Amino acid sequence: MANILVVDDDSTFCLMLTTFLGKHGYSVSGAFSFDEALRAMQNNNFDVVLTDFRLPEKSGLDVLSEAKRRNLNTVVIIMTGYGDIRMAVKAIKQGAYDYVTKPVNPDEILATIQSVVSHYGTANSGSDTFTYIEGKSKYSREVMRYISIVAPTNLSVIIQGDSGTGKEFVARQIHRLSKRSAKPFVAIDCGALPRELASSEFFGHVKGSFTSAVADKVGQFEVANGGTLFLDEIGNLPYEVQVNLLRAIQERKIKRIGSNKEIPIDVRIIVATNEDLLQMVNRGTFREDLYHRLNEFTIRVSPLSERKEDLMDYARWFLKQANQELAKSVTNFSTQAIDLLMSYSWPGNLRELKNIIRRAVLLEATNTISRESLPPELNQNGYSASSAALTDNLKNIKEKAEQELILSTLEKVRYNKSKAAKLLNIDRKTLYNKMKQYGIDLD
């Protein structure tokens, strides 16, 4: 069973959760502060760290960073309030596995941990339970067409899209349809890779090559030999490591740190990013030669808000998964629930949809997900069964979605209004008017 650390400054809740998980056979430790969590991680190797986002002295992001610095394989799950969904998405970008929303239901936490253990247990055993859901929107059909074209080749691929849009699923589907499908698919989260350990993680090291190298280590290039190496959030890779990565890709050889022996490798490189790598090249934060070496083929994965035609297909798939995880038999969605799901802006994309469906299945007492089983942020979109108010509600929904899109686009381009206007396909004047309309003040 997994070794778990629970971090929450609410001592009553923390003790309740540690006791609950302990009764289900897990080895669980509790910490009421960042300092206590730090001491616990110094003395133990945890498989899963479950941390509240809001802590008195530091945040869950600090716990995440420390956990990943000590062990890249530690799975970190963030507990967050509904108002912090965007911060939870930020945590995902920095290497968190998932997030759950407060108030937390212990059974929901248990289901998430069981999903983690099941996922990594399956990966370690080598069995393939991966399923790729093909959407029917024009965006999804285009992605599938690109996958089928590029998969049989050995071309390097850049997958671009927002956090939670399913970039790793695309990478896995490319691998699955390739001639390398019988060989390993190895994923590395570059966003959670400490600068000082990045080269060791990629290429391995020999015992004694640096202070903490107490044994030989096989790098991920060797692990993936013959298969596919997936580098998630490649834009976060330290500049100096980019040089070594380029050399390994070009020469098809690596050296473990501290060794003079060259090891031939044959891997296909697929990378994912939620940033514009070409803009990073122009800013001098990403190597131009590495960019051109990786950019043999590019696939853009659209946010869920742009492919609403696919939403209920994904929702039904997550419903099936949740029923299996929670031993429930919820078979359908009410009309009101579907309206709410379709009207929401989904800033957390597929990952947020999966969490919300799992929570709804857990709470639902009937065989149909109702409006009441869905969380408050969906209900705040202004749904009403009254036909007299329908037009106004649709207008509110459209305006809220537009406001969310403008905010997320501004965040994506670091609040550069010219770039935001270009991405939104509107002129600067229109953008300024919209910002004024929605009270978006960046000054």
Q: pLDDT for 33-78, tens place per residue?
A: 999 999 898 888 888 999 998 888 888 888 988 888 777 678 888 8
* pLDDT at 137 > cutoff 60: yes
Residue among 273, 299, 306 nearest 423 (CA):
306
CATH architecture for segment(s) 3-125 = 3-Layer(aba) Sandwich (3.40)
Mean residue pLDDT of the chain comes to 83
Cβ count near 116 (within 10 Å)? 19
Mean of pLDDT values over 13-30: 87
pLDDT class of 121 with cuts at 50, 70, 90 = very low
Residue written as tokens 């857990």? 362
Is the pTM of the predicted complex or chain greater than 0.85? Answer: no
pLDDT at position 145: 93
Do the beta carbons of residue 393 and residue 385 sit within 8 Å? no
pLDDT at position 132: 67
Residues 6 or more apart whose CB falls under 8 angstroms from that of 384 comprise 390, 393
* pLDDT at 394 > cutoff 80: no
Do the beta carbons of residue 266 and residue 252 sit within 8 Å? yes
* pLDDT at 270 > cutoff 50: yes
pLDDT at position 7: 94
Report the distance separating Cα 382 and Cα 394, nearest Å. Answer: 8
What letter represents residue 231's amino acid? L
| 163 phi-psi bin (left φ>0, alpha ψ -120 to 50, beta other) | beta
Question: 369-394 b/e with 16+ CB inside 10 Å = b?
Answer: bebebbbebbeebbbeeeeeeeeebe
CATH number given to 304-383? 1.10.8.60
Percentage with pLDDT > 70 across the chain: 88
Mean of pLDDT values over 66-94: 75
| Domains 3-125 and 138-301 belong to one CATH topology | yes
pLDDT per position as a tens digit, 377-390 = 786 654 433 333 44
Report the distance separating Cα 60 and Cα 430, nearest Å. Answer: 38
Do the beta carbons of residue 357 and residue 325 sit within 8 Å? no
Q: Which is higher by pLDDT, 36 or 24?
A: 36
Cβ count near 417 (within 10 Å)? 14
* pLDDT at 403 > cutoff 60: yes
CATH number given to 138-301? 3.40.50.300
* pLDDT at 120 > cutoff 60: no
List strand residue ranges (DSSP E) for 233-343, in order. Answer: 253-255, 262-264, 268-273, 298-301, 332-333
pLDDT at position 122: 34
CA–CA–CA angle 77, 269, 156 (5° rounding): 125
pLDDT per position as a tens digit, 176-211 = 899 998 888 988 888 777 777 788 889 988 888 877
Cβ count near 35 (within 10 Å)? 12
Find out whether the peptide bond into 103 is cis, omega within 30 degrees of 0: yes
- The token pair at 15 is 């003790």
Long-range interactions of 143-147: CB distance < 8 A, separation 24+: 143/170, 143/299, 143/300, 143/301, 146/297, 146/299, 147/173, 147/174, 147/177, 147/299
The domain defined by 389-437 folds into: Arc Repressor Mutant, subunit A (1.10.10)
Do the beta carbons of residue 382 and residue 396 sit within 8 Å? yes
Question: 288-300 b/e with 16+ CB inside 10 Å = b?
Answer: eebbeebbebebe
Rg (CA), the chain: 23
Q: Which is higher by pLDDT, 71 or 225?
A: 225
Cβ count near 162 (within 10 Å)? 21
pLDDT per position as a tens digit, 329-374 = 998 999 999 999 999 989 889 988 998 999 999 999 999 999 999 9
Provide the pairing of β-strand 253-255 with 262-264.
antiparallel
Question: What's the CA dihedral at 37, 41, 44, 48 to 10 degrees?
Answer: 80
What letter represents residue 176's amino acid? R
* pLDDT at 105 > cutoff 50: yes
Q: Which is higher by pLDDT, 20 or 195?
A: 20
- The one-character DSSP state at 271 is E
* pLDDT at 129 > cutoff 50: no
Residues 6 or more apart whose CB falls under 8 angstroms from that of 217 comprise 200, 204, 205, 256
List strand residue ranges (DSSP E) for 324-372, in order. Answer: 332-333, 368-369
Domain borders along the chain are: 3-125, 138-301, 304-383, 389-437
Cβ count near 33 (within 10 Å)? 15
Residue written as tokens 């031939």? 264
